[in-house]
Amino acid sequence: MNQTDVILNNLIESVKYIQDKISEVPKTAVVLGSGLGLFADKIEDKVVIPYAEIPHFFGTTVKGHKGQFVCGKIDGTPVIAMQGRIHRYEGHEQYEVVHPVRTLAKLGVENIILTNASGGINEAYKPGELVIIEDHINLTGNNPLLGPNIEEFGPRFPDMSETYNKEIITFIKKAAKDLGTDIKTGIYAGVLGPTYETPAEVRMLKTVGGDMVGMSTVPEAIAANHMGVKLGGISCITNMAAGIEKGKLSHDDIKDQANKAMEFFVNLLTKTVGYLNS
Ligand code: HPA
């Protein structure tokens, strides 16, 4: 089998496995990043599907990522959450990293909200703040669409002029207003990791227009956009990127900051999912 057939066959098997476990496919999915998994714990009437059970899925190796789909209702609205994701830096191929979002797209989900933890480059941000991803810069040195184009997914040269859907951005802003606060927007610079950046790299990222930097989201956004899914993005600024403030970066501190933002994050996402279903 060639690579395209492998990708397509794997997808059919993953989709079938999930379809057999859930009674309806929600309109909206959310991908929960490092330390942001609590949203999934608030889902009611839930069906939990560990990635390890699903054909062609990988468990995650990153602390703070559980590795399961949680499908049910949040505040009465159907939703499916990916509690944890895999990354290229864990040693996975690009097509493996984007397999879960392709599975969601193939299941029939219309909207995906990608969330992540990131380092703040823009000095107007503070650790613990949530920022809407307005656009991204792919600095991973890779692209999940390399190789023969899979016509069934989308065109060879996909348009990326509105990768993060404007209407979804408006809904997230409206949800923040409902919760009594404004929310900033920013450009997510996506890098490969797993090292955090050097201060010199952060200065470069600032020069090229990045407001925040992280190691996920970009491959998923490219693959989901290719398949015509509408995307939203929310980033939790868990730390200021290297060199912006004094001190060293650690994954444990980053998870602590994500925890502090948790209540607002859960409420913001819940309201946004509600708007997307209305
Ligand atoms: N850099 C890259 N990825 C990150 C960071 C960072 O500073 N913080 C959380 N994820």
pLDDT over 80 (residue 19): yes
The CATH number that applies at residue 167 is 3.40.50.1580
Residue 245 dihedral angles phi and psi, to the nearest 5° = -130, 165
Q: Whose CA is nearest to atom 7 of ligand 1?
A: 119
Instruction: List Cα–Cα distances, 155 to 145, 152, 181, 225, 227, in angstroms.
Output: 10, 8, 39, 11, 9
Distance, CA of 198 to CA of 138 (rounded, Å) = 18
119 lines ligand 1 (CB under 6 A): yes
- Does 129 qualify as catalytic in the annotation? no
Do the beta carbons of residue 3 and residue 144 sit within 8 Å? no
Q: What is the pLDDT of residues 27-81, one digit of tens each?
A: 999 999 877 888 999 999 999 999 999 999 987 666 656 899 999 999 999 999 9
Question: Any idea how long the chain is?
Answer: 278
pTM (global) more than 0.85: yes
Distance, CA of 87 to CA of 150 (rounded, Å) = 22
Q: Give the total number of structural domains in the chain.
A: 1
218 lines ligand 1 (CB under 6 A): no
The mean per-residue pLDDT over the stretch 163-173 comes to 98
Domain containing residue 187: 3-276
- Write down the pLDDT at residue 58: 86
- Write down the pLDDT at residue 120: 97
- Does 118 qualify as catalytic in the annotation? no
Distance, CA of 237 to CA of 241 (rounded, Å) = 9
